[in-house]
Copies of this chain bind each other. A is one copy, B any other.
Amino acid sequence: MIKSLMMDDSLMISGILRHAESIYPGQEIVTRLVAGEIHRYTYQQLGERTRKLANALLEAGINVGDTVTTIAWNTHRHLEAYYAVSGIGAVLHTLNPRLHPDQVSFILGEVKPKIVLVDTTFIPLIEANLEVFKSVEKVVVLATQQELPDLPAPPELDLLVYEEWIASYSVEYEWPVFDELAAAAMCYTSGTTGYPKGVVFSHRSTVLHAMGLGSANGPGVSENSCILPIVPMFHVCAWGVPYAALMAGSKLVLPGAGMDGKSLTELLVAEDVTLTLGVPTVLQGVIDYCRQKNINTPRLETAVLGGSAASIKLIKDTDEVLGAFLLHAWGMTELSPVGLANFLTNPELELSKEAQFLIQLKQGLPPFGIELQIWDESGKVLIGNPVERGRLMVRGPWVASSYFGISDSTSWEDGWFNTGDIAIRDEDGRYQLVDRAKDIIKSGGEWISSIDIENTASSSPLIVACAVVGVAHPKWGERPLMVVVPTDEQCSESKIKDYLEDKIAKWWMPDKIVFVESLPLTATAKVSKLTLRNQYSDVYQS
């Protein structure tokens, strides 16, 4: 019996920082501060300041397994917190400030942070939840004394200023090595129903996920990349970019609070960004601004799109306005988050743009590390080529095994996580998400994909944005309702139906179309179909 004889080095998040600092000391991190100015420093300076913060956290009594919560934009200081908190063995909890105050209060009650690091923007959120934050030992504002706003600080809170707090600590610190299965970070799923649910990442899962992101089949994160993560660092650790970028030695551009089209475009152009990542609404903001101002982004190669399905319009706009490839990806908080990414093969790169756009609508293939199955309702694995629609199940070393504090979740079956998505697998092997299981419409016993109708409709010049939801119907059980943000007043129900007529199955045609000024969004900037379903629950009941 032969045993392996390899070093048993743990996969540590601090190992990423040590690698980055030692191999690419001069690589740049550019931040638009919340106060507006541009801040620049190097990986080496990141390393030094992160060790200062680690020493400050340790002296503040943060122990292994304690939680530190951040309520913060994408900045270098938030990045320092990412590495310092996990690096000393504590748990980084990134709070989504867009959550409802009840949800914030619920989460902080579960997480029980000892220290909260907060951007100036979110001080009012603390003031509005004073009762909850009173039990926190230290609230640290991520700013210099000069950057502080002229707000009267709530007297109940002993607000510390980050730059003054860490200033006196030593840059010397040896990152400890411990079990790679230790908790490193946690993030709550926004949860369209009920309370948010916590996912707790380990050092191992975080490092493996970052290696997966850095693969050449991924977005191609390398020393020659300049990456602008538009996705906030409070959304599933900005999709793992803060880890993958440093692992590969990429230049990193952090947009701070400036998430509008103008601010982001300025950074894209000025910093020669090659890769950006975000959700549809924010990417659309960049596209609209560039189109309006006739701005080119010649260095931008790839825009990774996740969070919601990409429409053909967005894929086309990304190509035509930004001159970039929209890399359609799919993930979930429970998947760290990356589950699928959609690339073109060499033969597909020879096809017409229009043919490519249609392929890009799919969500693609999983990286090594993610294992997928499609199950029917009874739990039977569906196989074949193509694979008919069913429940998308997933497992792998960066997939959650349960939610924090919930022992009886029904989301896991036989060791597989039920994504709650309905998917198919095409002849070309690609996965495509048909709908969220809870969003799919069941009409007269047959399934209608709300996403399919939305994708088709979004190509119409009549429509800025739209959503299709199933609404209870006395005869058919459910029928589709379409909610539309029209381009102008000329738009009408009959014009949209004319547009859709030859493009979707007859019985998929929404029975009604209603017009609104904007669609309701969730805390993670997705269209809130729950809100729409509630609002229009009785339109077919007459």
10 closest A-B pairs by CB: A4-B202, A1-B65, A216-B222, A4-B183, A6-B205, A216-B220, A5-B200, A247-B368, A9-B397, A211-B211
Inter-chain pairs besides A1-B64, A2-B183, A4-B203, 20 sampled, C-beta below 8 Å? A1-B66, A2-B186, A3-B183, A3-B200, A4-B183, A4-B184, A4-B201, A5-B402, A5-B403, A6-B205, A7-B401, A8-B397, A16-B368, A22-B371, A214-B368, A215-B248, A216-B218, A216-B248, A217-B222, A217-B223
Q: Which residues of B contact A11 (CB under 8 A)?
A: 397
Partner of A399, one of B1, B7, B67, B371: B7
- What copy number does this chain have within its complex? 2
A100: interface (CB < 8 Å): no
A396: B residues at CB distance < 8 A = 7, 9
Interface status of A345 (Cβ within 8 A of chain B): yes
- 328-374 of chain A: CB within 8 A of chain B: 343, 345-346, 365-366, 368, 371
A208 neighbours in B (Cβ, 8 Å): 211
Contact partners of A202 in chain B: CB under 8 A: 4, 6
Inter-subunit contact A398/B345 (CB<8 Å): no
A181 on the B face (CB < 8 A): yes
Kindly list chain B residues whose C-beta atoms are within 8 Å of the C-beta of A203.
4
Q: How far, in Å, is A429 (CB) from chain B's closest CB?
A: 7
- Whether B368 and A224, one on each chain, are in contact in the complex, defined by CB atoms closer than 8 angstroms, is no
Q: How far is the CB of A66 from chain B (nearest CB, A)?
A: 8
Contact A6 B200 (CB under 8 A): yes
Complex-state Cα separation, A134 to B397, whole angstroms: 44
- Give per-residue flags for A90-108: 1 if the beta carbon is below 8 A from chain B beta carbons, else 0: 0100000000000000000
Q: Does A404 contact B (CB under 8 A)?
A: yes
Which B residues touch A183, using CB under 8 A? 2-4
| CB proximity of A172 to chain B, nearest CB, Å | 14
Looking across the interface, which residue of chain B has its beta carbon closest to that of A1? B65
A-B contacts, 14 listed (Cβ < 8 Å):
A4-B181, A4-B200, A4-B203, A4-B205, A5-B402, A7-B396, A9-B397, A19-B366, A211-B212, A215-B248, A217-B223, A217-B248, A224-B345, A249-B365
Q: Closest CB of chain B to A386's CB: distance in Å?
A: 13
Q: Quick one: closest B residue to A184, CB to CB?
A: B4
Which residue on chain B has the smallest CB distance to residue A222? B216
B67 touches A2 (CB 8 A): yes
Could you tell me the distance in whole angstroms from the C-beta of A107 to the nearest C-beta in chain B? 13
How does the 8 Å CB contact mask read for A445-482 relative to B, with 1 for contact and 0 for none?
00000000000000000000000000000000000000
Residues from chain B with a CB closer than 8 A to the CB of A217 are 214, 222-223, 248-249
Is A182 in the interface zone, CB < 8 Å from B? Answer: yes
A3: nearest residue on chain B (CB-CB)?
A: B183
Q: Does A309 contact B (CB under 8 A)?
A: no
> What distance in Å separates the Cβ of A294 from its nearest Cβ neighbour in chain B?
27
Q: How far is the CA of A321 from the CA of B183 in the complex (A)?
A: 52
Number of A residues, CB within 8 Å of B:
74
Q: Which residues of B contact A249 (CB under 8 A)?
A: 217, 365
CB distance from A126 to the nearest CB of B (A): 22
A167 CB within 8 Å of chain B? no
Q: Is A77 an interface residue (CB 8 A)?
A: no
A204: Cβ under 8 A from any B Cβ: yes
How far does the alpha carbon of A202 sit from the alpha carbon of B182 in the complex, in Å? 22
Contact B429 A23 (CB under 8 A): yes
Q: Indicate whether A395 reaches chain B with its CB closer than 8 angstroms.
A: yes
Given A19-B368, A182-B4, A404-B2, residue A25 in contact with residue B429 (CB < 8 A): yes
Cα A417 to Cα B9 with chains together (Å):
13
In the bound complex, do residue B186 and residue A399 qualify as a contact, i.e. CB atoms below 8 Å apart?
no
A239 at interface, CB cutoff 8 A: no
Contact with B along A12-25 (1 / 0, CB 8 A): 00011011001111
Closest to A404 in B: B5
- A441 neighbours in B (Cβ, 8 Å): none
In the complex, chain B residues whose CB is within 8 Å of the CB of A2? 65, 67, 91, 111, 183, 186, 200, 404
The residues of B that contact A225 with a CB separation of less than 8 Å are: 216
Q: How far is the CB of A360 from chain B (nearest CB, A)?
A: 15
Q: Is A221 an interface residue (CB 8 A)?
A: yes
Which residues of B have CB within 8 Å of A8?
A: 181, 397, 401
Q: Which residues of B contact A15 (CB under 8 A)?
A: 368, 371
* Chain B residues in 8 Å Cβ range of A205: 4, 6
In the complex the two chains form, what is the Cα distance from A493 to B540 in whole Å?
A: 99
Q: Which residues of B contact A398 (CB under 8 A)?
A: 6
Residue of B nearest to A179 (CB): B4
A116 at the interface (CB under 8 A from B): no
Does residue A199 face the partner (Cβ distance < 8 Å to B)?
yes
* Distance in Å: Cβ of A166 to nearest Cβ of chain B: 24
CB distance from A63 to the nearest CB of B (A): 8
Interface check A400, CB cutoff 8 A: yes
Docked pose: A269 CA to B181 CA in angstroms = 47
| A7→B218 contact, CB < 8 A | no
Q: A224-B345, A248-B217, A346-B224 are in contact. Are A5 and B401 (CB under 8 A)?
A: yes
